[in-house]
Structure 1
Amino acid sequence: MFNAKDDTILNCLVGMYLDVHFVDCCLKVQFQQEYWNRSADNIETIYKFVIPKTCTIGDFYAEVGGRKITGVVQEKGQAQDTYDDALATGQTSYLALQDEDASFNSYTISIGNLPPGQTTKVYISFLSVALNKDGNYVFYLPPELLPDVPTSGCCKIEMSEGVEHVYSTVGNISKEMDRVQWNLVPSNQPIVVSVITKKYSQPKAVLEYDEKTKSKALMITSTPVWQDLNNDLIESQVEVIFVVDRSGSMRGSRISQTKQALNILLHALPPLSRFNIIGFGSSQDWLFEKSQQFCEENIEIAHENIKNTNADLGGTDLVSPLRRIFSQPPDVDYPRIILVLTDGSVNDRPGTINEVRRNQEQCRLYALGISSSVDTALVKGMCEAGRGEAAFVI
């Protein structure tokens, strides 16, 4: 945030309240942010607001001086002109613009002409589908979306399937398991709420009626249950390339978690597969010049490599090893899978995601984010570009 008059950084954000609402597999999340102008002049505050790309902005309004100012949707240029005109006439005005970088959902929020001593509250809500794994619905808010101010909030839970268990990394869970309440969440800690339901595999329908528009919307959800894997799938031939972050930021528990994950993943490979392990930082460390057959001898070589793996390769250049991988044409008989293990602190996030997107026909890319402060925009952006999925070790 800055003062548009003299570019002085001002700490105007003084508090935030987070309102999360589970309704079956749907999520509505509202950020309530309070700003206070401590200076003696009218100011303009500008900040970035990032949400997962799978989310949609649902509402944007503000409260100032007892008035509610509701946002309206306009074409980008028109919205900027409306905001500038309001500033020119001395009115307090609000603007939310979606940034052009398509790698993630980033918005620039502007509050103009906030009077001295004035307090204003900004409300932004978004809609999404909860992550679902075998009836375990998850809300995950990474720490980079939590500003360094007092943050409190609650999560309301409504599940037609019935709730069997609720887990949360912060706050207190009600006895009825229909609410989680939290206060003063540390800014470096993610918020995770996991709701396990009783009858997740049963198809269900939810009908919603809008009194204002007299319209109805029907949502039907069906979750498949996989009993057995097909033997052909188990025996399939694939090429799996593990791309491992060995930069300085991976020191300590992060590199230890990565080595444990590598050993587990290595033994989960199909017997007829090929594999390789590539460490990256400022430089690269390739186990093999090109992927080798899964066999006892190569597995022993890989285990020795993992044992001696350290966070000793300096910076975090992920683009270069990806380019080298993509320069090697894949074998059509061995579909290529790339698995990136990283804390996400790379030098060039947009360039990395674009490199994956340009070569998405070569492979599927999956990623495992390590640590609670992982760059989720990078990890999810790569997986979306690479037609894969992301997972996180918190």
Structure 2
Amino acid sequence: MTAEEPRLQAWLDKQYHGEMAWMARHGMLRARPHELLPGTLRVISVRMNYLPAKAAFASTLNNPELGYVSRYALGRDYHKLLRQRLKKLGDQIQHYCLEQNNLDRHDLELHDLEQHDSERQGQPEQHTASEINFRPFVDSAPIMERSLAAKAGIGWVGKHSLILNRDAGSWFFLGELLIDLPLPVDKPQEEQCGRCVACMTTCPTGAIVAPYTVDARRCISYLTIELEGAIPEEFRPLMGNRIYGCDDCQLICPWNRFSQLTDEDDFSPRAVLHTPQLLDLFAWNEEKFLRVTEGSAIRRIGHLRWLRNISVALGNAPYLDSIVLALETRRGLHPMLDEHIEWAISQQLARRATQAVEVQLPQKKRLIRAIEKGLPRDA
């Protein structure tokens, strides 16, 4: 992982991490798993598919009155489930090593009957189960999980910086099990993106500033999830109806023709988040937000940022009296929210004055056409 350190430092030096101060704070620790778990010899990387059977990509993106939630967040938060599976894997390895150690000890005791103790001096000690240490991680520690996944052969890093697998696309979560066993090392996959730059040209905000390099400060996922303050005005019209995350760079990727659907019930879309009306979501008070998002990744942004994101989407929607009224009723909750509400109202009133209809961005038009034609299939 030492080869990743200069690239990571260059990315941080350009401030591409935005307000995610923890990324700079941990620095090169992200490329040094052995410092997270002393004695680490290997990292087992795993993936878990999350694409639901009824993702409704095109129908949601194509309707500005609906809110688009990144498909990974439609169901239950993945962290706990995947961490439990990794813990179970570690326990199974521990159990297997214990059994092997008992067998080895039994064989050694039989051999001792024919050998004098002095003849065994200098032999290496057996690696007992009690010496095996492991620790699971699921996007919960400073670790470069994509680089590790690439080294482990799960896939290659695409130009959008996500891991791609030729048989599964990119709709999967990653997890790691740090362990102090000298397991065999897998062979990395060859990069298969070729000359394709579909993800770069489709990104609404131009966040993929170079192949394999994302400026988080421009990324809609960062703007709607990680950014705590006001969303820069230049990006608001480009966000469309995306209220939590963005999947455009994955949706347009040709390799996602081969994406695999999840078989985990926990990742099935919650009805209230599947093709939801923006005005319905905007009407939630904090109590309902916390109740509905319990166990969901969405809960981490809190009610205020939830309203902030929806305000922007309402500002991008076709003019409706009901939208302006809903926005006005939310005034005064917080100065940061008020800024987005006033912007959204001004957008709505300008649209009414000019009798303008929604004009989709060229990238969005191409994306929806591609989805409808099955590239990738509208699962």
Q: Is the TM value for this pair above 0.5?
A: no
TM-score (norm 2): 0.20
Query: Which protein is richer in helix relative to its size?
Result: 2
Q: Which has the higher contact order (CA 8 A, sep 6+)?
A: 2
Question: Which has the larger strand fraction?
Answer: 1
TM-score (norm 1): 0.19
